[in-house]
Amino acid sequence: MIIKNICCIGAGYVGGPTMAVIALKCPEINILVVDNDVEKIKNWNGPLNNLPVYEPGLSEIVKKVRGRNLFFSNDIKSAIEKSEMIFMAVNTPTKTKGEGAGMAADLKYVEACANDIARYSKNDKIVIEKSTLPVKTAEKIKDILDKKNSRVHFEILSNPEFLAEGTAIKDLFKSDRVLIGGDDSPAGKNAIKALSQIYERWIPREKILTTNVWSSELSKLASNAMLAQRISSINSLSALCEKTGADIDEISLAIGMDHRIGPHFLKASVAFGGSCFQKDILNLVYLCQFYGLHEVAEYWHQVVKINDYQKNRFAQNIIQYFGGDLRGKKILILGWAFKANTNDSRESASIYVTQKIYEAGANIDIYDPQVPKENILHDINIKWGYTLDEVKKRIYIKKESLSTDKYDAYVILTEYEDFKTLEVDPNKVFDGRNIFDNALYSIGKSQ
Ligand code: UDX
Ligand code: ADP
């Protein structure tokens, strides 16, 4: 099957970079990235220094392919009609109400997307799940498509995205593996082949793994759970280090040199953030509970609980350093994004830690090199539950680069290189990217 037109529904952190790379590598395929967010599409079509997603290397690719074979639009109907292959890259946040609230993934955007595909499709389509989804969602999507449109054949594939934000382009160029889950039927095999041929343009064939749909869906949840579990494991040990005087960085190095363990994802931190880890683990926990696997559910739930414990522990270290009362203290928060080189702050530890410091009475300046001021204010409003009028007396968002103003404490919550070389009193630095430095400092203080 020759693919000439691809449509991607969802122009976010996954859809935008992934389609830009496919467009670059497959110049003969037209790629239509659509979204129902008018402002977002306007920004994708606007100046390269203001794209909705910040990723190193992304704007250079968009510059080459936008208007050539990559197009951004709000015209979902015509993009679906024209394309032989449709990627679903819409967001799947944790449910906030109804059955499974706080745990299960909210599939309302996926369902809306499937309804659109059913409504506008006039010929056979390959539909690809790109968003992280609960296992067996492909079945649900197929159900919606087949029930609402029996005139055409829909072949569903699962092709989870493993890119990490901040290194998305690098990850897409040199993926460890590409996973394609599909049916064993002749139509399923043809669809897998069509998608595989796209990736084969730049990914070695031996790195393209084909599985059944459910294995592919569950592999994504399992990958993220295993990665997050390593961070919670090392973070839990950082608490013990603080009590014993061992150095968590030395421990990371020592255990990571065992080739069976390996060095990655062993960096102690204030907590993992981002749109995936917590959501995917909670999703996994919900799934295990659903199948009556309560011990398994509890095992994975503990990864999220340790993450919450670490955030709180870090915030309490700062508050206790000032004797529990931060009124009249001026604190500089360095970093709002959940990691360096992204403008994404979803589930960032900074949101939580800053709230605790604010509630202890501090005056706070916030600086992040990538996250726009309006996003920070939006997080404060939505996640803290305070109106902007309430906080504006004690919160100020700095736009300019790093300040040398005098603060009572400097709290580093995102691992930007610039923050490592702060020219300030090191005794006033609370480094959430290396919690043990801060712990040593706390131990030093109490002696
Ligand atoms: C993750 C997965 O890595 C990626 O494969 C998947 O597709 C999406 O979820 P992402 O959330 O973008 O990617 O970033 P990642 O690099 O995994 O970092 C997640 C969080 O863990 C960040 O807050 C980071 O600072 C933290 N982290 C990472 C640590 O605290 N310690 C580490 O050693 C590594
Ligand atoms: P991710 O990190 O998974 O890419 P984002 O929130 O960055 O998540 O992107 C998802 C995008 O999907 C958003 O831009 C959102 O507007 C878009 N979206 C959600 N539902 C629909 C829908 N039914 N039709 C079109 N776009 C949608």
Helix, strand or coil for residue 94?
strand
Distance in angstroms (rounded) separating the CA atoms of residues 9 and 88: 5
> Which residue CA neighbors atom 26 of ligand 1 most closely?
272
Q: Which of 131, 133, 179, 227 to mutate to test the pocket of ligand 1 (most atoms within 8 A of CB)?
A: 227
* Residue bearing the CA closest to ligand 2, atom 16: 37
Q: Spell out the domain ranges in the chain.
A: 5-211, 244-430
For ligand 1, the distance from its centroid to the CA atom of residue 164, given in whole angstroms, is 6
Pocket test for ligand 2, best of 35, 76, 132, 339 (most atoms within 8 A of CB): 35
Whole-angstrom distance, CA of residue 343 vs CA of residue 212: 35
User: Under a CB-based contact definition with an 8 Å cutoff, are residues 358 and 328 in contact?
Assistant: no
Full DSSP string of 141-202: HHHHHHHH--SS-EEEEE------TTSHHHHHHT-S-EEEE--SSHHHHHHHHHHHHHHTTT
Measured distance CA(365)–CA(353) in Å, rounded: 13
CA nearest neighbour of 194 among 253, 243, 124: 124
Of all protein residues, whose CA lies closest to atom 8 belonging to ligand 2? 91
DSSP string, 276-314: SHHHHHHHHHHHHHHTT-HHHHHHHHHHHHHHHHHHHHH
Instruction: Say what the pTM is.
Output: 0.94
Q: Which two tokens stand for residue 215?
A: 């294995």
Pocket test for ligand 1, best of 131, 237, 338, 370 (most atoms within 8 A of CB): 338
Distance 50 CA to ligand 2 centre (A): 18
CATH no., domain 5-211:
3.40.50.720
H or E segment to which residue 429 belongs: strand 429-431
Q: Nearest-CA neighbor of 164 among 113, 231, 117?
A: 231
Selecting among 276, 279, 339, 347, the annotated active-site residue is 276
Concerning whether 161 is annotated as a catalytic residue, the answer is yes
Q: Say if residues 162 and 130 touch (Cβ distance below 8 Å).
A: no
φ, ψ dihedrals at 88, nearest 5°: -100, 110
Alpha carbon distances (Å) from 410 to 68, 162, 294, 405, 416: 46, 33, 42, 10, 14
Strands annotated E in 278-404:
330-334, 363-367, 395-398
CB atoms < 10 A from the CB of 79, how many? Answer: 24
Strand ranges across the sheet with 409-412 = 395-398, 363-367, 330-334, 409-412, 429-431
157 vs 18: CA distance, rounded Å: 16
* pLDDT on residue 435: 60
Catalytic, 99? Answer no
**52 with 41: CB under 8 angstroms?**
no
Nearest to 169 by CA among 356, 391, 21: 21
pLDDT at 442: 41
The CATH homologous superfamily to which domain 244-430 belongs is NAD(P)-binding Rossmann-like Domain (3.40.50.720)
Which ligand is nearest to the Cα of residue 162, counting in written order?
Answer: 1
Q: How far apart are CA 391 and CA 82, in angstroms?
A: 49
Would you say 165 and 347 are in contact if contact means Cβ atoms under 8 Å apart? no
What integer pLDDT is reported at residue 202 of this predicted model? 97
Q: Quote the CA–CA distance of 427 and 342 in Å, as a whole number.
A: 28
What is the full per-residue pLDDT of the chain (447 aa) written as tens digits? 789 999 999 999 999 999 999 999 999 999 999 999 999 999 999 999 999 999 999 999 999 999 999 999 999 999 999 999 999 999 998 899 988 899 988 999 999 999 999 999 999 999 999 987 888 888 889 999 999 999 999 999 999 999 999 999 999 999 999 999 999 999 999 999 999 999 999 999 999 999 999 999 999 999 999 999 999 999 999 999 989 989 999 999 999 999 999 999 999 999 999 999 999 999 999 999 999 999 999 999 999 999 999 999 999 999 999 999 999 999 999 999 999 999 999 999 999 999 999 999 999 999 999 999 999 999 999 999 999 899 999 999 998 766 667 899 999 999 988 887 888 888 899 988 766 544 444 433 332
Verify whether ligand 1 is closer than 6 Å to residue 79 (CB atom).
no
Whether 119 and 151 have beta carbons less than 8 Å apart is answered as: no
Look at residue 441 in the predicted model and tell me its pLDDT.
40
* 202 Cβ below 6 A of ligand 1: no
Establish whether residue 342 lines the binding site of ligand 1, counting it when its CB lies within 6 angstroms of any ligand atom. Answer: no
Active-site residue flag, 276: yes
First to last CA, the chain: 72
Q: Whose CA is nearest to atom 14 of ligand 1?
A: 164
Q: Is the CB–ligand 1 distance for residue 10 below 6 Å?
A: no
Asked whether 160 lines ligand 1 (CB < 6 A), one says no
pLDDT of the residue at 440: 42
| Rg from Cα positions in the chain | 23
Task: Tell me if domain 5-211 and domain 244-430 are identical in fold.
Answer: yes
pLDDT at 1 (0 to 100): 79
